[in-house]
Chain A
Amino acid sequence: MGRYWQVLRLFWATAIAAELEYRINFVIAAFTSLGGLAGSLFGLFLFYRDGYQFQGWSWAEALVVLGVFTLLQGVAATFLIPNLNRIVDQVQQGTLDFVLLKPISSQFWLSTRTLSPWGIPDMAFGLGVIAYAGSELNLGLGAYGAALPPLLLGIVSLYSLWFMLGATSIWFVKIYNVTEVLRGLLEAGRFPMVAYPAAYRVFFTFVIPVAFLTTVPAELMLNRAGSGWLLATLGLALVLLQVSRWFWRFALRYYTSASS
């Protein structure tokens, strides 16, 4: 275990050193996040401006969901996207061979090799929105504490889904845009689940579990969902993580390396 921590520290230190070469990119990313946040707020405001509200979600409560969504977007941009989209490259160019030969878990290597600070502005804005909404709703520290476990579990679920999609490139090779499909569907997490028609809700709970990524953490934070939901989030994260490990081992059996 200690060895993994050490490797992780090395991975991230080198990744950050490399990214610091492109400081202007970071400024651009910050502006883009700010614009994106303004747009998201505007999009939500269109629903609320005439006195309509999503059933049981006041403006401030809906803001919590949007804040969690923005935060997750930042986490994905920093930790998930730079690594998992690269699996496709590795398979296509056959460099996966070198990863497999290393004496650590190949899934660990592929999932943590690099990180990009591009998502940090999104994370900061997401936290800002959550804090603003929290102060409007007079939430105590306990509420933030209650939100933390489901949020982390949600990130684990998201990672597992993304990793499995990336792993399918063992069979399909060129699938850069499969992850774009996932990203498109995750957009549904901007709004609380009750805002959707029943068919959508079923899809986003059981097929692509977007509900567990944003709505459930927000509900737990607002203290409106029982601990059953927390258990469900935990179960989902553990199952998806384990399935992703199995799936990776299964996929590797079909890996034949490039040009062979």
Chain B
Amino acid sequence: MRSHRPAQPLSLPRTLLSVYYAYMVEYRAELLFWMLSGTFPLILMGIWAEAAQGGQFSLDSSTLVRYFLAVFLVRQFTVVWVIWEFEKEVVQGKLSPLLLQPMDPVWRHFAGHAGERLARLPLALGLVLLFGLLYPDAIALPGLAQLGLGLLAAASAFCLRFLMQYTFAMLAFWTERASAVEQFWFLFYTFLSGMIAPLELYPDAVQAVVVWTPFPYLIYFPARLLAGFPLELGATLFQGFSVMLGWGLLFWLVNRWLWRQGLRQYSGMGA
């Protein structure tokens, strides 16, 4: 197979990415609607901003606005739908031709998601700026180091969420409704990830438990970095990235094991 190796070391990922980017830009109207359907953090932003003016919460109004704008961005940046596509491929037997290619089929999905991010980003930033006009006090860029760390955390969160959902997707080899598992998981994600409020406002007991689950690292951790919360360097950062890495490894192992078992189970429906 030597002679078939790509000419440049990175030409395969580059090609995949540009193909899927072009594909996503083609459907930009649909993309806009997908983005607008993720307005949940912006709705909560309004309530928390109002609540913080009236009550004694440990965070003030403009901090909360900044936090929720960051949540919105992180959420846009980490949307994953691989399970629905994979489920369809398995149920309809479309996975079979992909298995013949000298590339793990996951990379197509991954490139699709990554390409969509690039197409979505300008839209999402535009909406954040619009809300910035509504709450001008809240807009403040974090320091460069924190911005970099925040982006790194957001990218890791996306990878972890993709990996988790792709692991659940493996169940499609055995059942036709693997996405039901994801829907149930999504509830925990919604309420424990910090999407409805920063973790500081959760009861202590809940906080203590939740920091060991993967959920807060998918939203809260990158969002607070991007929102420029005061940072207890070291401990928090180390804990954040290492918990993510731990869960990532665990899911990766389970994923590869299920993939091998599943392929044995897979009979290529409709083929």
Q: Do A and B bind each other?
A: yes
Residues of A that sit less than 8 Å from B by CB: 25, 28, 31-32, 35-36, 38-39, 42-43, 46-47, 49-52, 54-55, 172, 174-175, 177-178, 180-181, 183-185, 187-188, 191, 195-197, 199-200
Is there an interface contact between B37 and A184, defined as CB atoms closer than 8 Å? Answer: yes
Bound-state Cα–Cα, A73 to B46, Å:
22
Is there an interface contact between A181 and B36, defined as CB atoms closer than 8 Å? Answer: yes
From B3-11, B105-113, B196-204, B235-243, give the one contacting chain A.
B196-204
Chain B residue at minimal CB-CB distance from A40:
B191
Is there an interface contact between A184 and B197, defined as CB atoms closer than 8 Å? Answer: no
Is there an interface contact between B39 and A196, defined as CB atoms closer than 8 Å? Answer: no
Most buried by A among B38, B47, B54: B47
| Chain B contact residues, majority secondary structure | helix
Which of A31, A43, A52, A172 meets B57, CB within 8 Å?
Answer: A52
| Chain A contact residues, majority secondary structure | helix
Distance from A92 Cβ to chain B, minimum over Cβ atoms (Å): 13
Distance from B69 Cβ to chain A, minimum over Cβ atoms (Å): 15
Distance from A200 Cβ to chain B, minimum over Cβ atoms (Å): 4
Which of B33, B57, B183, B202 meets A177, CB within 8 Å?
Answer: B33
Is there an interface contact between A199 and B134, defined as CB atoms closer than 8 Å? Answer: yes
Complex contacts, A51 vs chain B, CB 8 Å: 55-56
Complex contacts, B183 vs chain A, CB 8 Å: 32
Bound-state Cα–Cα, A183 to B37, Å:
7
Question: Interface digits, B34-47 against A, CB 8 Å rule (1 contact, 0 not)?
Answer: 10111110010011
Distance from A18 Cβ to chain B, minimum over Cβ atoms (Å): 16
Which of B33, B196, B201 meets A181, CB within 8 Å?
Answer: B33
Chain A residue at minimal CB-CB distance from B37:
A180
Complex contacts, B202 vs chain A, CB 8 Å: 46
Is there an interface contact between B177 and A36, defined as CB atoms closer than 8 Å? Answer: no
Decide yes or no whether B49 CB sits under 8 A from chain A. yes
Number of interface residues of B (CB under 8 A): 33
Complex contacts, A36 vs chain B, CB 8 Å: 187
Distance from B46 Cβ to chain A, minimum over Cβ atoms (Å): 4
Complex contacts, B203 vs chain A, CB 8 Å: 49
Bound-state Cα–Cα, A46 to B197, Å:
8
Chain B residue at minimal CB-CB distance from A185:
B39
Is there an interface contact between A180 and B33, defined as CB atoms closer than 8 Å? Answer: yes
Decide yes or no whether B137 CB sits under 8 A from chain A. no
Distance from B34 Cβ to chain A, minimum over Cβ atoms (Å): 5
Closest 8 CB pairs of A and B: A52-B55, A39-B191, A180-B37, A35-B187, A200-B46, A177-B33, A184-B37, A181-B36
Complex contacts, A175 vs chain B, CB 8 Å: 30, 33
Is there an interface contact between A50 and B191, defined as CB atoms closer than 8 Å? Answer: no
Which of A39, A184, A197 meets B46, CB within 8 Å?
Answer: A197
Is there an interface contact between B51 and A195, defined as CB atoms closer than 8 Å? Answer: yes
Bound-state Cα–Cα, A36 to B202, Å:
18
Is there an interface contact between B38 and A184, defined as CB atoms closer than 8 Å? Answer: yes
Which of B30, B38, B55, B187 meets A50, CB within 8 Å?
Answer: B55
Distance from A136 Cβ to chain B, minimum over Cβ atoms (Å): 22
Distance from B26 Cβ to chain A, minimum over Cβ atoms (Å): 12
Distance from B67 Cβ to chain A, minimum over Cβ atoms (Å): 14
Chain B residue at minimal CB-CB distance from A186:
B43
Decide yes or no whether B152 CB sits under 8 A from chain A. no
Complex contacts, A39 vs chain B, CB 8 Å: 187, 190-191
Most buried by A among B34, B55, B177, B188: B55
Q: Provided the pairs A50-B56, A187-B43 are in contact, do residues A180 and B34 lie with their beta carbons within 8 angstroms?
A: yes
Which of B55, B184, B196 meets A28, CB within 8 Å?
Answer: B184
Q: Provided the pairs A55-B54, A184-B39, A197-B50 are in contact, do residues A31 and B134 lie with their beta carbons within 8 angstroms?
A: no
Complex contacts, B180 vs chain A, CB 8 Å: 25, 28, 32
Is there an interface contact between A178 and B33, defined as CB atoms closer than 8 Å? Answer: yes
Complex contacts, A49 vs chain B, CB 8 Å: 203
